[in-house]
Amino acid sequence: MHEMKTETHPIESADATLLAYGREVGKLLSSSSTECWTAELWTIFTGYIISLKEQGHAPELCDTYFSFKELVEFFENVERIGRGECLENNRFL
């Protein structure tokens, strides 16, 4: 008689994690479209840049810019996924 193995495999665990991420992204996007999120990000970043006149030098500006850029790219990629564009090697065609 064979015993059934009930160990969780790393792939199953990774799949569950990806599904959980997907649910969170879905909740985020259900509140607004990707276009609105991108526009809001630009508004936030623009406000930050304008406020630097009052705040003075910001040594973390470069890091902030690249974080902003990654967020904008995230929403652009989500929009592409929504349009059914294909991914190849984790990059859009």
Domain ranges of the chain: 33-92
Tell me the mean pLDDT in the region 62-83: 88
pTM for this one? Answer: 0.64
10 in the Ramachandran plot: left (φ > 0), alpha (ψ -120 to 50) or beta?
alpha
Per DSSP, helices labelled H in the chain are 10-30, 34-55, 61-82
Nearest alpha carbon to residue 68 among 85, 49, 35, 45:
45
Q: Which pLDDT score, from 0 to 100, does residue 82 have?
A: 80
- Span 36-68, pLDDT tens digits: 989 999 999 999 889 988 888 888 888 888 999
Q: Which pLDDT score, from 0 to 100, does residue 75 have?
A: 87
Amino acid at 11: I
pLDDT at position 70 over 90: yes
20 vs 39: CA distance, rounded Å: 26
